Chain A
Amino acid sequence: DVVLTQTPSTLSATIGQSVSISCRSSQSLLDSAGNTYLYWYLQRPGQSPQLLIYLVSNLGSGVPNRFSGSGSGTDFTLKISGVEAEDLGVYYCMQATHARTFGGGTKLELK
Chain B
Amino acid sequence: EVQLQQSGPELRRPGSSVKLSCKASGYSITDYLMHWVKHRPEHGLEWIGWIDPEDGETKYAQKFQSKATLTADTSSNTAYMQLSSLTSEDTATYFCASLRTTSAYWGQGTLVTVSS
Chain A residues in contact with chain B, CB under 8 A? Answer: 1, 37, 39, 41, 43, 48-51, 54-55, 58, 60-61, 90, 92, 94, 96, 99-105
Contacts and interface: CB of A to CB of B under 8 A. Distances in A.
Given A48-B95, A54-B101, A100 B47 contact: yes
The 9 closest A-B pairs by CB, nearest first: A48-B106, A105-B44, A100-B47, A51-B104, A102-B45, A54-B102, A104-B44, A92-B45, A49-B106
Interface in B33-53: 35, 37, 39, 44-47, 50
Contacts, number: 57
B45 A49 contact: yes
B108 interface: yes
Interface string B91-116: 00001010101111011110000000
B11 interface: no
B107 A1 contact: no
A106 to B, nearest CB: 10
A70 to B, nearest CB: 18
Contacts of A101: 47
Contact of B103 (A48, A49, A60, A100): A60
Most interface-central of B61, B103, B104 (chain A CB within 10 A): B104
Contacts of A92: 44-45
Contacts of A61: 103
Contacts of A49: 45, 95, 97, 104, 106
25 contacts: A1-B62, A41-B45, A43-B39, A43-B45, A48-B95, A48-B97, A48-B107, A48-B108, A48-B109, A49-B104, A50-B106, A51-B103, A54-B101, A55-B102, A61-B103, A94-B45, A94-B99, A96-B99, A100-B47, A100-B99, A101-B47, A102-B37, A102-B46, A103-B44, A105-B44
